[in-house]
Amino acid sequence: MIFDTHAHYDDAAFDADREELLGGGLQAGGVGLVVNIGTDLKTLHQTIELTERYPYFYGALGIHPDCVDGLNEEHLPILRQMLLEHKKMVAIGEIGLDYHGDYERDIPLQKKWFKWQLRLARELKLPVVIHSRDAAADTMEILKAEDAGSIGGVMHCYSYSVEIAREVVKMGLYIGIGGVLTFKNGRKLKEVAAETPMEQILLETDCPYLAPTPYRGQRNDSRNIALVAQELAQIKGITLEEVLRITEENARRFYKLW
Ligand code: NI
């Protein structure tokens, strides 16, 4: 069974055929569980709606570092309330730091939101889904300072070095791996996958983004995780079935879905 630990089916890229895909297409393609990940306070209700409509959907709610502008500490109780009221919300995410690109960012505000949400996760006993792009040093510093290992978390769409991956694994966090693993220029991630214990890998799409080869550049969906799993099977020298079984167990343990 495919367990997609990180998807964005509320994205407008699915507007034309969402019901067709989520109401049958995904399951026909071997998908058994999906966690839809929120990003922006204004659109978090869309994740909740998806989990109410589709029994095999669960949700994560959080403020993405690109979406913190204009939000302050007074907005935190809104997120807290949504997480408490909706039983199918299994994590806080995606949260973290994003310094990518050369446009102006409020980095102090990103850091505040990252810390506030880590503390909220500890309070509510939920794991966190971490987004970190071009911000390795600051991310690791905050994760260590907040003792994220004791909260539980995944470094989603892992994009850093093998050395940092070792630290992440040592903290007890998971490494999230998706379509990039199949890319020609995905050598660094293949090294990370080879080094990371199977028990600490979660498979994800980040759909509609990051479709694996040979669909690179097209709209992604959870069925394509089979291609990522195939690549991982080759790297690890085990069967596709074993990869799917172990990563499903990992995801169930991570999101407490048994
Ligand atoms: Ni994402």
- Residue 56: which CATH number? 3.20.20.140
Gap between the Cα atoms of 163 and 53, Å rounded: 42
Q: Buried b vs exposed e over 175-187: b needs ≥16 C-beta within 10 Å? A: bbbbbbbbeeebe
Residues 4-19 as b/e (b if ≥16 CB within 10 A, e otherwise) read bbbbbbbbebbeeebe
Average pLDDT over residues 16-27: 98
How close is the Cα of 157 to the center of ligand 1, in Å?
A: 8
Separation of CA 147 and ligand 1 centre (Å): 23
74 Cα–ligand 1 center, Å: 25
Q: What is the Å distance from ligand 1's center to 38 Cα?
A: 8
- Give the position of tokens 């949400």: 117
- How far apart CA 153 and CA 142 sit, in angstroms, is 13
3-state SS, residue 79: helix
In the reported structure, the alpha carbon of residue 7 is separated from the centroid of ligand 1 by a whole-number distance in angstroms of 6
- Say how far apart CA 142 and CA 254 lie, in whole Å: 21
Euclidean distance between CA atoms 64 and 66, whole angstroms: 5
- The number of domains in the chain is 1
Confirm whether pTM is higher than 0.85: yes
In this prediction, residue 231 carries a pLDDT of: 98
How far, in Å, CA of 36 to CA of 57, rounded?
7
Domain of 45? 2-255
C-alpha pair distances (Å), 103 with each of 65, 70, 100, 197, 204: 14, 17, 8, 37, 28
**In this model, does residue 103 exceed pLDDT 90?**
no
Report how far ligand 1's centroid is from the alpha carbon of 208 (Å): 9
Ligand 1 centre and the CA of 146: distance in Å?
A: 22
Q: Rounded mean pLDDT of 124-145?
A: 98
Q: Which residues contact 54 (CB under 8 A, 6 or more apart)?
A: 22, 23, 34
Q: How far is the CA of 170 from the centre of ligand 1 (A)?
A: 24
pLDDT (average), residues 8-24: 98
| Position 6 pLDDT exceeds 90 | yes
Q: What is the pLDDT of residue 250?
A: 98
Question: For 197, how many CA atoms within 13 A lie in the half-sphere containing its CB?
Answer: 12
Q: How far is the CA of 191 from the centre of ligand 1 (A)?
A: 22
| Proportion of the chain above pLDDT 90, given as a percent | 98
Instruction: Read off the pLDDT band of 101 (50, 70, 90).
Output: confident
**Band of pLDDT at residue 127, cut at 50, 70 and 90:** very high
Residue 217 Cα to ligand 1 midpoint, Å, equals 16
Cβ neighbours of residue 102 under 8 Å, at least 6 residues apart?
A: none
How far apart are the CA of 28 and the centre of ligand 1, in A?
A: 24
* Nearest-angstrom CA–CA distance, 227 and 126: 29
* Torsion of Cα atoms, 62 then 63 then 65 then 66, to 10°: 130
Q: What is the pLDDT of residues 180-216, one digit of tens each?
A: 999 999 999 999 999 999 999 999 999 999 999 999 9
CA of 40 to the centre of ligand 1 (A): 11
- Is the Cβ–Cβ distance between 60 and 46 less than 8 Å? no
How far apart are alpha carbons 140 and 59 in whole angstroms? 25
Instruction: Return the ∠ at Cα 175 (arms to 9 and 92), rounded to 5°.
Output: 50
pLDDT at 213 (0 to 100)? 97
Count the residues in the chain: 258
pLDDT of 258: 87
Confidence of residue 128 (pLDDT cuts 50, 70, 90): very high
238 CA from centroid of ligand 1 (Å): 28
